[in-house]
Structure 1
Amino acid sequence: MREAGRIVAQCHAVLEKSIQPGITTKELDQIAEKFILAAGGIPSFKGHHGFPACICTSINDVICHGIPDQTALQDGDVITIDIGVKLEGYHGDSAWSYAVGPITPALAQLMRVTKECLDLGIEQARPGKRIGDIGAVIQRYAEQFHYGVVREFCGHGIGQNLWEEPQIPHYGQPGRGPVIKPGMVIAIEPMITNGKWQAKIDRDGWTARTIDNSICIQYEHTLAVLESETVILTQL
Structure 2
Amino acid sequence: MPAAKKSDEETKEVKELNSAEPAAEVAAEDVDDGEDDAEDVGGETTGEAKKKKKKKKPKKKGGAKVAQSSPPRVGLSKFFPDGKYPVNEEQEYKDDNRWRTTSEEKRYEERVAMEDPEITYNNIRKAAEAHRVVRQHVRQWVKPGMAMTDIANMIEDGTRAVVEENGLEAGVGFPTGLSLNHCAAHYTPNAGDKVVLQQGDVLKIDIGIQVGGRIADSAFTLNFEPTYDKLIEAVKAATDTGVREAGIDMQLGELAGYIQETMESYEVEVNGKTIPVKPIKNLSGHSINPYQIHGGKSVLLVKNDDPTKMEEGEYFAIETFGSTGRGRIVESGECSHYAKRVDAPHVPLRYEVHVRSKAAY
| TM superposition score normalised by structure 1 | 0.76
1:127 paired residue number: 248
In the TM superposition, what are the counterparts of 1:106-117 in structure 2 within 5 Å?
A: 107-117=228-238
In 2: Cα distance, 1:83 partner to 1:25 partner: 14
Contact 1:124/1:133 (<8 A) preserved? no
Match of 2:282 in 1: 152
Identify the match of residue 83 of structure 1 among 207, 214, 230.
Answer: 207
Give the drift of 1:177: 2.4
> Which of 157, 178, 185 is the equivalent residue of 1:64?
185
Pairwise CA distance, 1:30: 0.7
Tell me which protein shows more strand as a share of its residues.
Answer: 1
Q: Output the CA distance in 2 between the equivalents of 1:87 and 1:126.
A: 23
State how far apart, in whole Å, the 2-side matches of 1:18 and 1:122 are: 28
Q: Does 1:25 align with 2:148?
A: yes
Q: Amino acid of the residue matched to residue 44 of structure 1?
A: G
Distance, in Å, in 2 between the alignment partners of 1:151 and 1:109 is 20
The alignment-based identity, stated in percent, is 22
CA contact (8 A) 1:147 1:196 kept: no
2:322 is equivalent to residue 192 of structure 1 = yes
- Any conservation in 1 of the 2:234–2:277 contact (CA below 8 Å)? no
2:330 counterpart SS class: strand
In structure 1, runs of 5+ residues without a counterpart are: 46-53, 208-236
Deviations 1:125-165 (A, max 9, x none): 02232112221011122223332211222111113111102
Instruction: Measure the CA separation in 2 of the matches of 1:4 and 1:159.
Output: 15
TM (norm. structure 2) is 0.51
Whose radius of gyration is greater, 1 or 2? 2
Query: SS of 1:202's equivalent?
Result: strand
Q: Distance in 2 between matches of 1:206 and 1:26?
A: 12
Q: After TM superposition, give the deviation of residue 206 of structure 1 in Å.
A: 5.6
Quick one: distance in 2 between partners of 1:4 and 1:37? Answer: 11
Q: What secondary structure does 1:13 align onto?
A: helix
Q: Which amino acid aligns with 1:165?
A: G
Pairs within 5 Å for 1:154-173: 154-160=284-290, 161-173=292-304
What is the CA–CA distance in structure 1 between the aligned matches of 2:133 and 2:176, rounded to whole Å?
A: 14
Q: How big is each residue's C-alpha offset from its partner over 1:64-111, in whole Å with a ceiling of 9 and x where there is no partner?
A: 1112233211112211100111212221110100112x222xx11111
Q: How far does the alpha carbon of each residue in 1:51-74 deviate from its partner, in whole angstroms, 9 at most, with x for none?
A: xxx301011111111122332111
Equivalent residue letter for 1:94 = S
User: What is residue 140 of structure 1 aligned with on the other side?
Assistant: 261
One-letter code aligned to 1:96: F
| RMSD of aligned Cα (Å) | 1.8
Distance 1:75 1:203, change over 3 A: closer
SS at match of 2:303: coil
Unaligned runs of 5+ in 2: 1-123, 165-169, 267-275, 338-361
Distance in 2 separating the partners of 1:144 and 1:14: 31
Query: Contact 2:152/2:188 (CA < 8 Å) preserved in 1?
Result: no
Q: Determine which of 155, 171, 176 is the counterpart of 1:42.
A: 171
Residue of structure 1 in register with 2:353 after alignment: none
The amino acid of 1:181's aligned partner reads E
Give the drift of 1:188: 0.8
**1:172 alignment partner AA:** K
Partner of residue 308, structure 2: 178
